[in-house]
Each structure stands twice: as structure tokens, then as C-alpha cells.
């Protein structure tokens, strides 16, 4: 079984794009997640959402927004133009939930500008 549950804050505004040909919505974003027992340590997790979830996240979330999501981990690799093999790990979103109201969204957020 490959299932992950995450709660964190977006590190920057989500990137909403559309696949050429099909027009399917794809949103990429990164989450900052504090470690449970070492609050000063943070993990940064790359995430991808498709279709309706991609549209909703692209429209209603921004840098610092808190989100809860369920997804699966996917790994991939490719060879760069320099001939170096690169590896990528990301979470493919299955579902998500809004965690905070708009009024509290940026209160005390480490991502405030």
C-alpha cells in the first residue's frame, strides 16, 4: 500500500498549468511540514494535483496556506542535458481539505512577507 497523509503550509503560490492537447489542469506545489518531535526541523515535500483538485488549489490556496492532503508517493528519474541521472520524488494528491479559515490563514505564519 502506498498512502501518505500530510498537513503543512505551501512554501510558495501553487503553479497551475494545463496539459497541451487534453487541457487537463495540473497544479504543482511544495509543502513545509514541521517534524513531530523536533519542531525546528522542517521537511519540504513536492506535491502534484490534477483536474478539479488542481483548479481548486490553484484558485484558493497561496503561499502560507495550510492544507491537509491524502496521496501516494511517486518516484521518477531522467537524464539531464549534462548526462547526469536525476531523481524526483513527489506526492500525487488523491484528496485534500482546507485546514484554516481565511481570517486565520496567515496569522503567525512563518511565510509572511
CATH code for residues 4-103: 2.40.50.140
The full set of domain ranges for the chain reads: 4-103
Question: What is the pTM (predicted TM-score) of this model?
Answer: 0.80
Residue 92, C-beta contacts closer than 8 angstroms, at least 6 positions apart: 47, 48, 50, 71, 72, 73, 74
- Which cell is 17 given? 498549468
| Sequential pLDDT tens for the chain (113 residues) | 999 999 999 999 999 999 999 999 999 999 999 988 877 899 999 999 999 999 999 999 999 999 999 999 999 999 999 999 999 999 999 999 999 865 454 454 444 43
Amino acid at each position: 500500500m502506498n498512502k501518505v497523509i500530510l498537513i503543512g503550509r505551501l512554501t510558495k503560490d501553487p503553479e497551475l498549468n494545463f496539459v497541451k492537447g487534453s487541457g487537463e489542469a495540473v497544479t504543482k506545489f511544495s509543502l513545509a511540514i514541521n517534524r513531530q518531535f523536533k519542531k525546528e526541523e522542517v521537511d519540504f515535500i513536492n506535491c502534484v494535483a490534477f483536474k478539479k483538485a488542481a483548479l481548486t488549489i490553484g484558485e484558493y490556496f497561496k503561499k502560507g496556506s495550510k492544507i491537509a492532503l491524502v496521496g501516494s508517493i511517486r518516484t521518477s528519474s531522467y537524464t539531464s542535458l549534462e548526462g547526469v541521472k536525476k531523481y524526483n520524488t513527489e506526492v500525487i494528491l488523491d484528496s485534500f481539505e482546507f485546514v484554516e479559515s481565511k481570517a486565520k490563514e496567515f496569522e503567525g505564519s512563518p511565510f509572511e512577507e
